[in-house]
Amino acid sequence: MSTPTEPRRRTGRPRRRGQPVGDPTAEILAAAGRLFGELGIEATTMSRLAAEVGLGQSSLYYYFRSREEVVAALVAEANVVPLALIDRISQTGASTAAKLHRFVQGDVEALCALPFDINEIHRIAGREQERFARYWEERAKLERRLASLLKDGMAAGQLRPVDARLTTLTILANDEGTQNWYRLKPRRAREAAIAVADLTVAGLLAPGHSLEDVRDESFRSSIETVTPRSRSGNKEETARP
């Protein structure tokens, strides 16, 4: 479904169990996303993942060099939703505080919708900066956008003066910490997301500004707030001849 064109042909030894249905790489990643959410990343074995797509354990290594490469391929998506979110919000004409409120709420909700634990990602990705280079780049980009948003708000006098970078990291850490507790409770995720957004914005508003006004503006301006569920495959040059 990722590539509407069908450029590549496939031949090769048939599978013992289960027939190939589509692009094996995409199927593996989809199954991995499912299993990571159900069992946790560390607890998901290559055997289990292979069985899920109808392959033998060792056959996975034809598509991915290692188990961690599967993780990395999935993890790379973790930042794209927040990045797209802050981009979309930045282009609106809302006040900075309302933008911040919408971002925090959307970020928490997006994190809670992830099939895996974002904190687990950070530990794994921190140990192997090389393999997760793309993740860290996008993470840095996200930090810059958010810091820039905070500076705008301070310049406009709507936010009280704080250290933009430190506050950025704090906000993102708060969002991630919340995901820890509400990832498995989609019902309460929105409620928690709003609570975090309220706390964050109220904590940053300059005197004389009302949280209620910001909330109203945030909710009113988010007529169109989508949470894309698509999980498109990404092409990571993997196979070896």
| 170 counts as binding its own copies under rule CB under 8 A | yes
Confirm or reject binding of residue 61 to DNA (CB under 7 A): yes
> In the set 204, 214, 215, 221, which binds its own copies (CB under 8 A)?
204
Residue from 52, 69, 152, 176 that binds its own copies (CB under 8 A)?
176
Q: How many CA atoms lie within 13 A of 148 on its CB side?
A: 10
Among 16, 130, 187, 230, binds DNA (CB under 7 A): 16
- Our CB check for DNA shows the closer of 93 and 241 to be 241
Region 31-50 residues binding DNA, contact defined as CB under 7 A: 44-48, 50
Contact 41, 125 (CB under 8 A): no
Of the residues 99, 192, 214, 218, which one makes contact with its own copies according to CB under 8 A: 192
Q: Which does 234 bind (CB under 5 to 8 A by kind): DNA, its own copies, none?
A: none
User: How many Å apart are CA 157 and CA 159, to the nearest integer?
Assistant: 6
How crowded is residue 13: how many other Cβ atoms within 10 Å of its Cβ? Answer: 6
Q: Does 166 bind its own copies (CB under 8 A)?
A: yes
Beta-carbon contacts of 114 under 8 Å, excluding residues fewer than 6 positions away, are 78, 179, 183
Binder to DNA among 3, 38, 57, 212 (CB under 7 A)?
Answer: 57
Q: What gap in Å lies between CA 85 and CA 104, rounded to an integer?
A: 10
> By CB under 7 A, is residue 4 in contact with DNA?
no
Q: How far apart are the C-alpha atoms of 52 and 42, rounded to whole Å?
A: 17
SS3 for 40-79, per residue? Answer: CCCCCCHHHHHHHHCCCHHHHHHCCCCHHHHHHHHHHHHH
Residues 106-125, mask of contacts with its own copies (x by CB under 8 A): -----------x-xx-xx--
> Which range touches its own copies (CB under 8 A), out of 48-56, 97-105, 144-152, 164-172?
164-172
Choose the contact partner of 206 out of DNA, its own copies, none; CB within 5 to 8 A by kind: none
Residue among 79, 96, 158, 167 that touches its own copies (CB under 8 A): 167
Packing angle, helices 96-113 and 164-182, rounded to 10: 40
Number of residues that bind DNA (CB under 7 A): 32
Closest approach, Cβ 170 to DNA, in A, equals 34
In sign, the C-alpha dihedral spanning 125, 126, 127, 129 is positive
* Backbone angles phi and psi of 196, in degrees to 5: -65, -45
What, of its own copies, DNA, none, does residue 45 touch, CB below 5 to 8 Å by kind? Answer: DNA
